[in-house]
Structure 1
């Protein structure tokens, strides 16, 4: 983690903070002021715990120094009674050289444990960092596979197509996803969202319905699906997650014959190799050598670790999210919070924060922390509490003074006489998708099959169920065409009303 490069003298501790602790700052020698902090964290697989095992401040670091520190930390932790079976880090050059030294000159997925031989010690890069690299390269350059050209221009066209729609097929897609700056490129959530099924569903829908800008999108959608599947395989976090999400790709691993492990060790590496070969033939950059290697290295390491835990250690099931470096990111998030939510905190604040963790055993992670656990959407808005009678009268007065254009008033009156929704635009499909979601929520809340069944049908043309088919959402229950038409008219009316209402009054007026 980057820290501010400055010296701070603490009178209470009678100590100078900010010097490099990984090198000898002796009297008469050259003083090194640290600008980075390296932290080792022990994270539990069978028991939920996260413990800082060691931290060092440094300005420059060699692979040999890193190797010696890692072995020392590994020995101390092993002497405390922990069984370390896996080392995870990102694929920076320093970490790659560390793995080479641990593997006697070559990068290997598994080595003999230095202090508990003949037990194995697995090495892996972090899958979240690999996903970010795959997203960044996808946005920067076109690639080629056997299916055709892989291009991010389709996502740009999708963004331009939906940006003025009241109901969008991909509600979260912004310019920050498509044109991230250097700081935004580090955001894991936005990297994962690029590969979400809703993005793939929108592209497939536009392709099937003959939109001229999306005719050759099949190679791009396959790339998005493969990267999302790669992430989902590594994002298994609980025994019941696959039941709640209706997604078998996040089920816990209970045997090594799982088809996801076969895809991870056979199909996925072949797909990465295919991209590299076809891109080279077409004169395109493809994935970088480091990213392609790290993706295949992670896939192999995950398979070997799951196999070892199930067959050798005797795990009943394996949750792969614990394989990530989220514990490090959470630790750094806590350090920044303790330093006043400062992205460039100093050495004294960082050390105080780590000592506080060791004393209290509490890690407070920011909502904006760069961890995979924050992938799910949580609304940042809430319904305001009921206002007093005086304020309510004031809002009603404001509403009565609201003057709307004639066309808007006419469209409000036409809500009682909506026409059947029969077009095949992406906007209509998005509205039908939203209508199905709202009706599902109604059914979950009221538990009345008689009331909800009158709103549903199974005989709607394929256009309106396209998103349900591509995203595998909400089963076969689809809202009626007339209900979809009502939602479409209502969305357009709200879209026309919003510019005429003061922002602070939107909830009151609605």
Structure 2
């Protein structure tokens, strides 16, 4: 048995408590376990989890009342009581723990003390109606009992007393005058009478002594009472009758004549708490239960009644509130109708201008009788256009929910159509750019031309507007003839970015197959420069990345690479080549190589070449880090050898510490993944000041591998300072004319009285840093050494040209244009990279959009920046939008000419040849070469053409034309596919319609088999289709118009299908190539 009490806080049974009791000489409390019948009661009383109380859980005697503990043996011998102390204490059967001193008071419940028994009970006599003696005598004489009511009884052995009772009944003393008796040969009956309020007499009590029955039969209020008593004298009978007289009849529950099934029928005349007992305990219990049930029902009814009352009150309140609001709206409407336009204008003048436009649009929409035909201001159209470009889904939601009075998407599309989604130089772009530059200052018009390429997914699509296939290489007038019929997979974008201001504008986009060649790129750049100069802006610099084709473009423009190493010819032998590797390079001298070309538009000006500086830093980092095979090469600099092992040692020394000296340097900086190779932030962190400081710190601490890191630290500090100088976006680090004096209190570049700002301004001398690094590059070039130990010549060349161009452009802008400083961050391609990021984000999960997706997003982003007015100018966005609408659209004129030509070709298609009634005549001339036409599928598609013609042609109104398109009663066997797929709505084509479609399909298949898909494939198909003649469809009035519409729809739809089929095959081939490349990478060459 466990020897410790389970009650919380009780120490009984613990070693410390046993030791203390032993020292104090105190007896240890006894422990008790519950019996099976006591377990549930104990679980309810003990304040511990119920699962901890079981049959073997001990509880000490401290938690029991004394009346529950048996500590003595009691022995009764006659009148003598002997008590003896028990060796082991026990509990009474009803013992329950109720004392818990270490728990809250509510856990301990006092057991009520046992009440003393009542020694004497006094009961006041019950009130009865007083009966006169004459009435009692009359009742006694007139009461009779029918003999049939007497009960038969079993044999009684001793009948001496009963026989005497029947003879001497008159000798028995009755309790009072309301009692009477009747006797016969079988029994003697005593009855107690009672007088009701209606002066009727009823038998309340009845006592019968049968002759042959052992016990009397007693009933009170017709309820039989079993009383076992023997009588041997008349005094005993009289006493018994008196006892019966003292009993009160139990009235039951007094609720719907209910009575307990255990009711004894009588109640002794006793008092409880000064009140007489009027019913038995069983009826009292049932009455209490009935009253409780009745009260519960009553409360429930009252609750629902109160709820109904509350709902009715709330309904009345809301009705009054609605009425008040309606009255208020009516009053406001009346007040609004009374307002004059001048008052409305005074109210609107208090709002911002854009909110005024929104309110005016809502007022105009409220005045309109119909939602169609609304008129909007140019400013509101401008705001809605920007909102549509930002988020088409948000615009649709606001239009659907009628949040504002917005124009429909079709209305906005008419404005956006002015900017055609087409590749090449769009005249509307430069016209609007010229309008934008009219309100700008002269120094705000100088900027640089950025151009870069973005990879696309080659795909073709048919353009219904131009009736041509889009997706082929489009380099304008410079497209090579051998590239015109090849799908494009790269987009070349030109962007203009000013040196002042936060805006930029894309001016053109071209589609190419791979990278654009240097000669073509130079021609496109010159034309873009000329168009921008013609629009009123100045181009002073070309910015591109370090790709080889861009270097070829520099060469085309006359920029030579002074750092190129000329390898000796093979005829001179390997020995001579080995010796030449250790010789010095050709010295440049004090004269710098030219980094610009004469301006093609303005004499006396120059265009300077610049490479994207972050791209150069990424190339420099890639030279130091391991290559694809994991090999590293030390870099030889004028300061010494720069080793990759220094970064490795720094990372190993710093990675295991909780507080790191260089926490930004991680393993990904040293061993980047494929997608991290061109990360600009990681490249800048690789050459950061924190890395240099950490190397010096661990070198002083004696970390292994950093003893010779002085040259690496010096190189890192030079690159870090150069990054700050060439990435300046604030006046502090910008290029200035000369070393300035500390800024005065009136200077806008520093906070007045701030010494820290003055120090920062003086230390950030970007011009000096760039000039020093140019000299460093020249010394680096002239330093003897192997080619493999030096920086790549293209990176060296790009750094030299970029830094020299930054100085030259800054001198031109400061000395001649009047710039106070030049922020060098405007000379990189960040804006163009952000533009490409926006295009990729707009295309969703596809990082390489197809040419159609790209040019559509390009148009939206270009219009968004183009229609925004310059900051601080007087021109508004509405005027910019109006300028866009008023521009002459040359491309629309070309499309109109193309449509007119197409219509004339269709006319000639119907005019030439004779009508052929049957299709079989075509089979002899068809050159399908294995390509067969599924006639069932073609008939199914002809039904689709008939349905579309019903909706979009003259057949919509002419029933005869519609009847000429279909034949619902046709039983041709090739219509089985239509019957199988139809649910009652598909149309069966007529034979004339099927003949026309069949001929066109034959021509399309033959054309696509004998020539590749190209831009003017539709024109080739129409030319080949003129070999056949076509029967006209429809009524005599509209047959020509309807036939042309059917042919036009089928040809354009079929061209769309051909482009989709081409894209599908191309994607399948691309997937096969990817799988083959993956398999080739897994192959290992086993040496023989």
Does the 8 A contact of 1:108 with 1:123 survive in 2?
A: no
Tell whether 2:269 aligns with 1:269: no
* CA apart distance, 1:39: 0.5
Does the 8 A contact of 1:23 with 1:58 survive in 2?
A: no
Aligned to 1:337: 841
Aligned to 2:850: 346
The 1:157–1:16 alpha-carbon spacing in structure 2 relative to 1, beyond 3 Å, is farther
Aligned to 1:112: 598
Tell whether 2:726 aligns with 1:234: yes
**TM-score, structure 1 normalization:** 0.64
Q: 1:132 and 1:297 mapped to 2: Cα distance?
A: 17
Q: 1:203 and 1:317 mapped to 2: Cα distance?
A: 35
* CA apart distance, 1:145: 2.8
Tell whether 2:711 aligns with 1:219: yes
Aligned to 2:766: 260
Q: 2:595 and 2:655 mapped to 1: Cα distance?
A: 45
The 1:29–1:351 alpha-carbon spacing in structure 2 relative to 1, beyond 3 Å, is closer
Map residues 126-165 of structure 1 onto 2, 5 A cutoff. 126-140=612-626, 141-165=633-657
Does the 8 A contact of 1:110 with 1:122 survive in 2?
A: yes
Map residues 23-34 of structure 1 onto 2, 5 A cutoff. 31-34=485-488
Aligned to 1:494: none
Gaps of 5+ in 2: 1-453, 562-592, 627-632, 741-764, 868-1088
The 1:29–1:319 alpha-carbon spacing in structure 2 relative to 1, beyond 3 Å, is closer
**SS state of the match for residue 789, structure 2?**
coil
**SS state of the match for residue 735, structure 2?**
coil
**SS state of the match for residue 100, structure 1?**
helix
**SS state of the match for residue 532, structure 2?**
helix
Aligned to 2:548: 93
Aligned to 2:456: 3
* CA apart distance, 1:97: 1.8
Aligned length: 351
Q: 1:38 and 1:283 mapped to 2: Cα distance?
A: 34
**SS state of the match for residue 345, structure 1?**
coil
**SS state of the match for residue 327, structure 1?**
helix
Aligned to 1:318: 822
Q: 2:726 and 2:559 mapped to 1: Cα distance?
A: 28
**Aligned match for 1:52, one of 506, 510, 515:** 506
Aligned to 1:71: 526
Q: 1:53 and 1:171 mapped to 2: Cα distance?
A: 43
Name the stretch that deviates more: 339-348 or 215-224.
339-348
Q: Describe the superposition over 1:162-202 as per-residue Cα deviations: whole angstroms up to 9, x where unpaired.
A: 22322222222222211123432111111111011111110
Q: 1:161 and 1:62 mapped to 2: Cα distance?
A: 48
Q: Describe the superposition over 1:415-469 as per-residue Cα deviations: whole angstroms up to 9, x where unpaired.
A: xxxxxxxxxxxxxxxxxxxxxxxxxxxxxxxxxxxxxxxxxxxxxxxxxxxxxxx
**SS state of the match for residue 343, structure 1?**
coil
**SS state of the match for residue 220, structure 1?**
helix
* CA apart distance, 1:285: 2.5
* CA apart distance, 1:28: 11
Q: 2:656 and 2:848 mapped to 1: Cα distance?
A: 38
Does the 8 A contact of 2:473 with 2:483 survive in 1?
A: no
**SS state of the match for residue 111, structure 1?**
strand
**SS state of the match for residue 85, structure 1?**
strand
**SS state of the match for residue 268, structure 1?**
helix
* CA apart distance, 1:23: 6.5
The 1:100–1:276 alpha-carbon spacing in structure 2 relative to 1, beyond 3 Å, is closer
* CA apart distance, 1:205: 0.5
The 1:26–1:228 alpha-carbon spacing in structure 2 relative to 1, beyond 3 Å, is closer
Tell whether 2:575 aligns with 1:122: no
The 1:253–1:269 alpha-carbon spacing in structure 2 relative to 1, beyond 3 Å, is closer
**Aligned match for 1:81, one of 521, 524, 536:** 536
**SS state of the match for residue 73, structure 1?**
helix
**SS state of the match for residue 349, structure 1?**
helix
Name the stretch that deviates more: 102-111 or 216-225.
102-111
Aligned to 2:806: 302
Q: 1:27 and 1:297 mapped to 2: Cα distance?
A: 34
Q: 1:120 and 1:311 mapped to 2: Cα distance?
A: 15
Point out the structure with max Rg over C-alpha.
Answer: 2
**SS state of the match for residue 652, structure 2?**
helix
**SS state of the match for residue 617, structure 2?**
helix
* CA apart distance, 1:130: 0.9
Q: 1:286 and 1:23 mapped to 2: Cα distance?
A: 41
Aligned to 1:167: 659
* CA apart distance, 1:10: 5.7
Q: 2:480 and 2:807 mapped to 1: Cα distance?
A: 47
Q: 1:301 and 1:312 mapped to 2: Cα distance?
A: 16
Tell whether 2:795 aligns with 1:291: yes
Q: What is the RMSD computed on CA atoms of the aligned residues?
A: 2.7
* CA apart distance, 1:89: 0.8
Map residues 490-501 of structure 1 onto 2, 5 A cutoff. none
**SS state of the match for residue 54, structure 1?**
strand
Q: Describe the superposition over 1:82-129 as per-residue Cα deviations: whole angstroms up to 9, x where unpaired.
A: 111111111222111212222377783122210021222222111111
**SS state of the match for residue 539, structure 2?**
coil
* CA apart distance, 1:334: 1.0
Does the 8 A contact of 1:22 with 1:57 survive in 2?
A: yes
Q: 2:846 and 2:785 mapped to 1: Cα distance?
A: 47
* CA apart distance, 1:341: 4.6
Q: Describe the superposition over 1:371-407 as per-residue Cα deviations: whole angstroms up to 9, x where unpaired.
A: xxxxxxxxxxxxxxxxxxxxxxxxxxxxxxxxxxxxx
Q: 2:594 and 2:775 mapped to 1: Cα distance?
A: 19
**SS state of the match for residue 728, structure 2?**
coil
Tell whether 2:700 aligns with 1:208: yes
Q: 1:13 and 1:255 mapped to 2: Cα distance?
A: 54
Gaps of 5+ in 1: 243-249, 364-510
The 1:357–1:13 alpha-carbon spacing in structure 2 relative to 1, beyond 3 Å, is farther
* CA apart distance, 1:359: 2.1
Tell whether 2:689 aligns with 1:197: yes
Name the stretch that deviates more: 99-108 or 310-319.
99-108
Q: 1:238 and 1:84 mapped to 2: Cα distance?
A: 22
Does the 8 A contact of 1:276 with 1:287 survive in 2?
A: no
**TM-score, structure 2 normalization:** 0.31
**SS state of the match for residue 41, structure 1?**
strand
Does the 8 A contact of 1:142 with 1:285 survive in 2?
A: yes
The 1:342–1:167 alpha-carbon spacing in structure 2 relative to 1, beyond 3 Å, is farther
Name the stretch that deviates more: 8-17 or 117-126.
8-17
**Aligned match for 2:677, one of 162, 165, 185:** 185
